[in-house]
Structure 1
């Protein structure tokens, strides 16, 4: 009941602890969890406006974006946050001229408020028999054959299941800023570093070092990853390729006369005998099966190029987005 006490005392005028104790005993006497939640809803009804502004700032990451979402002025948002912090007697948000950041107290408080909000919605829906239907837009960014061939068909199934959801799948090889550019989800690969994002593993992508028989017939011998600098390497993103060595992971700097951020373009050049490629196995599966390409140095491969479902850390996530996340995780392995 700590959160109940904090909210009731700070926001519903219950500054007298005896007053709160009486209402608290009433709440505790409710054995039915749904009715308890609805009674508690009456306790916090008078102060929710200030809380939804705080949660909007947390979700959108700035006062101005929260103001736009709520259709109020930025000054109104700022004033509400200041009043909220004054009543609580603690700082919830650290402000700079360029950004805002939750304090530890703000992070914990936002998490509690989110739980309360969800409980209230669930209670109302349970008593009223309301069935939530996901609807509205979902913006997703990703690129490559994996997204086109593995992810997109699953999203199509999701849209068939929930026809009121409007999905925009943006194919972009650039790692866009999900928060700044307003994306709900992203499909990304390899090692992730942005701490503002949550990453859920979709699948492991097994890497292959590939070359055509024609290229190998005329090229220098390739006995270990250390021989790669002698070869014409077809570079996708990075010119440092990672392999298992005797003492851990080795990064080999490679070079070549062909670069592309499109894996199909790399694959085509490799099949044509131009050089050696380092691609995910699913991209080259047919070429390997037909014998057009040969897999090299399999024992040295580092299989950490997983595919990840990535989304911003949000205290409030729309139902449609939460359902799509669960759907993708369940259907892509």
Structure 2
């Protein structure tokens, strides 16, 4: 058990950011935590942490070891939960965040259905177009779209998502149709939350910077602007696909269209053992439409 104690102490120090906070969480003394970490480093023959009076940070070796240790701890907790009724019963408060429009249209209806099936569950949902910090915000779960950049979280693909660059026939008749990315400089590119569009170039997914005289961090507002012929926009399928099928919008530069960037359920390592998170993510995977147009 001494080896396990060292691993548990190491993970807790990293999570809490200090020896004292980890000691408080583990209900042991600072010196005991320090001894456990020192013995662990001695046994491994490697320094895992940089220590200073203000903070504790991971070495390169420590970062790799930390990622593996999280899986070990998760496995240990899984073994304990496997004999508990809570393993199959979602209960307590489920806190989650999701982008406003996508959440209102797709996630909230499914969440309400899930809640009706599990009366012991309560929910707290933050609809926001900001990429909120799950750990700092105390969220159990986030639904995110596109390309994920935070590798410290667990991500499960729960649905498809495609992006389209488009404009109205009226706009194209007046200003011309771009056939290459460089020609976008001659057009008013309507900008949403970011000043770049995702494109596939030379077989790789890349961020292509665009410019224009219109910007708003709202998908519906961006769709309204492109629908009124104000310029070109890149939007997900669930905004534009019906308008494309009706001929109200035309798809442009489809040779650069990125592959499916997907819809993801994202959550911390210590949440994936929770029935409320695990079962709701499975529920979303089963019930989210296979096509979001």
- Answer yes or no: is 1:257 the counterpart of 2:213: yes
Q: Hey, what's the Cα distance between the residues in 2 that align with 1:138 and 1:204? A: 24
CA pair 82-318 structure 1, distance change in 2 beyond 3 A: farther
Cα displacement (A) at 1:187:
1.6
Give the deviation of 1:230 after TM superposition. 0.6
Q: Give the distance between the partners of 1:250 and 1:53, measured in 2 at CA.
A: 39
> What secondary structure, in the 3-state scheme, does the structure 2 residue paired with 1:234 have?
coil
CA distance in 2: counterparts of 1:321 and 1:186, whole angstroms: 10
Say whether the 8 Å CA contact 1:134–1:164 is kept in structure 2: yes
Q: Does the CA-based 8 Å contact 2:14-2:56 persist in structure 1?
A: no
* Residue in structure 1 matched with residue 33 of structure 2 by the alignment: 81
TM-score (normalizing by structure 1): 0.69
SS of the equivalent of 2:234 reads strand
- Over 3 Å counting, the alpha-carbon distance change for 1:219 and 1:106 in structure 2 is closer
Q: How many angstroms apart in 2 are the aligned matches of 1:172 and 1:146?
A: 10
Shift of 1:279: 0.6
Please state how far the C-alpha of 1:316 moved relative to its aligned partner. 7.2
Equivalent of residue 227 in structure 1, options 173, 179, 183: 183
Aligned to 1:119, which of 79, 102, 108? Answer: 79
Contact 1:225 1:243 in 2 (8 A): no
Q: TM-score, normalised by structure 2?
A: 0.77
Cα separation, partners in 2 of 1:119 and 1:189, compared to 1, 3 Å:
closer
User: How many aligned positions are there?
Assistant: 280
SS of the residue corresponding to residue 90 of structure 2 reads coil
Q: Distance in 2 between matches of 1:109 and 1:246?
A: 38
1:110–1:315 contact (8 Å) kept in structure 2 = no
Alpha carbons 1:210, 1:276 under 8 Å: kept: yes
Q: Which residue of 2 aligns with 1:153?
A: 109
CA separation of 1:219 and 1:131: change in aligned 2, threshold 3 A: closer
Whether 1:201 and 2:201 are equivalent positions in the alignment is: no
| 1:105 to 1:236, Cα distance in 2 relative to 1, 3 A | closer
**1:324 aligned to which of 259, 280, 291:** 280
Report how far residue 62 of structure 1 moved.
Answer: 4.0
- State the alpha-carbon separation in 2 of the partners of residues 130 and 136 from structure 1: 10
Shift of 1:151: 1.9
Superposition deviation, residue 301 in structure 1: 1.0
1:296 aligns with 2:252: yes
Whole-angstrom CA distance in 2 between matches of 1:242 and 1:233:
13
Cα distance in structure 1, aligned partners of 2:281 and 2:227: 36
The answer to whether the 8 A contact 2:95-2:125 is kept is: yes
For structure 1, the 5+ residue unaligned runs are 1-6, 12-47
Question: CA 1:194 to 1:103, structure 2 compared with 1: closer, same or farther past 3 Å?
Answer: closer
Secondary structure of the corresponding residue to residue 259 of structure 1 = coil
Matched residue, 1:279: 235
Whole-Å Cα distance in 2 between the matches of residues 113 and 167 of structure 1? Answer: 27
Higher relative contact order (CA 8 A, sep 6+): 2
- CA-CA distance at 1:116 after TM superposition: 3.9
RMSD value, Cα: 3.6
Equivalent residue number for residue 98 of structure 1: 55
Cα distance in 1 for partners of 2:278, 2:14 equals: 15
**How far 1:206 sits from its partner (Å)?**
1.4
User: Aligned residue for 1:170?
Assistant: 126
Equivalents in 2 of 1:251, 1:59: separation in Å?
Answer: 33
Tell me which moved more, 139-148 or 178-187: 139-148
Deviation at 1:245, TM superposition (A): 4.7
Q: 1:61 to 1:203 in 2, by over 3 A?
A: farther
The structure number with the bigger radius of gyration is 1
Partner of 1:239: 195
CA distance in 1, matches of 2:157, 2:238: 17
